[in-house]
Amino acid sequence: MKKMIYDLNYEQLKEWLLEHNEKTFRTNQVFGWLYRKRIQEFSEMTDIKQSLIDTFNEEFVINPIKLKQRQASKDGTVKYLFELQDGFLVETVLMQFDYGKSVCVSSQVGCNMGCTFCASGLLKKNRDLTSGEMLAQVMYVQKELDKLEQRVSHIVIMGTGEPFDNYDHVMNFLYTVNHDLGLAIGARHLSVSTCGVVPRIRQFAREKVQYNLAISLHAPNDELRSKLMPINKAYPLAELMDALHEYSTMNNRRITFEYILLKGVNDQTEHANQLAQLVKGMNAYVNLIPYNVVDEHGFKAVDFAAAMKFYDKLMRLGVKSTLRKENGGDIDAACGQLRAKAEGKL
Ligand code: SAH
């Protein structure tokens, strides 16, 4: 597999250029070609001499991911299935919101977290994605948007994979996406979502960055959460909440809790009460997510009335929350469904 130039962050590219006897100002030039002009071939860099272009071609590729499938939903959601250089498949989703265009990026091929409701876990992890492969997903979508003179304004790492099981690559990816000479997307428009890998949450708290943190909570007590999400056995709620309090104190940032409403499982009044208790006093925000049914798992989605009831209860208990509308329900847009289907697992 040839190395992707997108894998190199600004400083690494600078170093590479220095090693090849180039001046440091070339870093800005090359970064500009890659992320502003979004070239597909090194030969497009008209102000770079041929010998350097040849060396780039010998060592790197720009964006080798191939589109295998593309599904567009009536609501503007687009789902992409990409093939990586070694043949593995990953999914990416573009979502249109009134505040902008958000790309949902996959961070691993498959996932080992084993959440019982999730389609991604139907396929075990094959490998981590590199930061360049995550960038490649965004760049592909951005190239499409370029034709409409539109821009990716937000990124969420909520596709297949557990980003905090691939920490360094994820941080390197965000670094380039956020970099002034990279895609220059503001840190507050970048979100990482984790099922609760506590040591990495503590590490994340110490980064000098302003990215958003989202926690996939889905259950307000240990008994239920351990049933739904195996990670809870390794890092139960008390430990998770302790790490989050630390993150909050250090960063003064609001934390988003994601909570899928599963019919008859976590949607009762007692769960709303426990949830309110759990996040009490925290700068928190609960995102109630409609469940996208994965037939294999047997869970059912709640109807709108039940979701509203849960939402009202939370509001009355003083918990800030939103009831997220479903995007792309007509195109298998949830969590690994497209890939699982392509691989014959759904
Ligand atoms: N591993 C990370 C990020 C990927 S999952 C995490 O757990 O946060 C992104 C979000 O989608 C998580 O909140 C996950 O629990 C949720 N999700 C998984 N399967 C879903 C489904 N079928 N319907 C709706 N949301 C789902």
CA of 313 to the centre of ligand 1 (A): 23
- Residues having CB within 6 Å of any atom of ligand 1: 113, 115, 117-119, 158, 162, 193-195, 216, 258, 260, 289, 291-292, 294, 334-335
The yes-or-no verdict on residue 295 having pLDDT over 90 is no
300 touches 262 (CB < 8 A): yes
Question: 297 vs 83, which has greater pLDDT?
Answer: 83
Q: Is the pLDDT of residue 346 over 60?
A: no
pLDDT attached to residue 328: 63
Is a pLDDT exceeding 70 seen at residue 342? no
Q: Is the pLDDT of residue 333 over 60?
A: no
Nearest residue (CA) to ligand 1, atom 25 = 291
Q: What is the pLDDT of residue 160?
A: 94
CATH architecture of the region 3-61: Orthogonal Bundle (1.10)
CA-258 nearest atom, ligand 1: 13
Q: Give the H/E segment covering residue 209.
A: none
Lowest-confidence region among 36-40, 118-122, 222-226, 288-292: 118-122
Evaluate if residue 4 carries a pLDDT over 90.
Answer: yes
Dihedral sign (CA 327, 92, 113, 9): negative
- Is pLDDT above 60 for 86? yes
Query: How much distance in Å is there from the Cα of 160 to the middle of ligand 1?
Result: 8
The protein residue whose alpha carbon is closest to atom 12 in ligand 1 is 216
Residue 294: per-residue pLDDT: 86
Task: Respond yes or no: is residue 115 known to be catalytic.
Answer: no
pLDDT band at 341 (very low <50, low <70, confident <90, very high): low
- The pLDDT tens digits of the residues spanning 91-110 come to 999 999 999 999 999 999 99
Please determine, for residue 334, whether its predicted confidence score (pLDDT) is greater than 90. Answer: no
Nearest-atom number in ligand 1 for the CA of 337 is: 22
Question: Does residue 287 surpass a pLDDT of 50?
Answer: yes
Name the residue with tokens 């220095």.
18
Supply the pLDDT for residue 241: 98
Per-residue pLDDT reduced to its tens digit, 129-154: 999 999 999 999 999 999 999 999 99
Task: Quickly state the pLDDT bin for 42 (edges 50, 70, 90).
Answer: very high
Q: Looking at residue 197, what is its pLDDT?
A: 98
Q: Which of 22, 91, 162, 258 is catalytic?
A: 91
Look at ligand 1, atom 18, and give the residue with the nearest C-alpha.
Answer: 118
Taking the centre of ligand 1 as the mean of its atom positions, its distance from the CA of residue 163, in whole angstroms, is 12
Nearest CA to ligand 1 atom 20: 118
Phi and psi of 126, rounded to 5°? -90, -45
**Sheet strand arrangement including 255-261:** 66-72, 78-83, 89-97, 100-104, 154-157, 190-194, 212-216, 255-261, 284-290, 321-323
Token pair listed for 185 = 């997307």
Cβ pair 28, 99 in contact under 8 A? no
Range in 45-54, 150-159, 331-340 the model is least confident about: 331-340
Q: Residues 104, 111, 118, 335: which is the catalytic one?
A: 335
What pLDDT is attached to residue 119? 83
CA 85, CA 88: separation in Å to the nearest integer?
Answer: 7
- For position 120, what pLDDT does the model report? 79
- CATH number for the region 66-342 comes to 3.20.20.70
**What is the overall mean pLDDT for the chain?**
93
Residues 151-181: tens digit of each pLDDT:
999 999 999 999 999 999 999 999 999 999 9
Atom of ligand 1 nearest to the CA of 214: 8
- Compute, in angstroms, the gap from residue 161 CA to the centroid of ligand 1: 9
Smallest CA separation from ligand 1 atom 24, residue = 291
Beta bridge partners of 24: none
How far apart are the CA of 257 and the centre of ligand 1, in A?
Answer: 11
Neighbour-count burial of 236, counting CB atoms closer than 10 A to its CB (0-12 exposed, 13-18 middle, 19+ buried):
middle
pLDDT at 253 over 50: yes
**For residue 106, how far is its CA from the centre of ligand 1 (angstroms)?**
11
Q: Which residue has the tokens 């030969």?
A: 43
The reply to whether 91 belongs to the active site is yes
Task: Give pLDDT, residue 273.
Answer: 98
Q: What percent of the chain has pLDDT over 90?
A: 86
Span 314-318, mean pLDDT? 96
Is the pTM for the entire model greater than 0.85? yes
Q: Whose CA is nearest to atom 10 of ligand 1?
A: 158
The whole-number average pLDDT for the span 234-261 is 96
Question: Given this model, what pLDDT does residue 340 score?
Answer: 60
Per-domain residue ranges of the chain: 3-61, 66-342
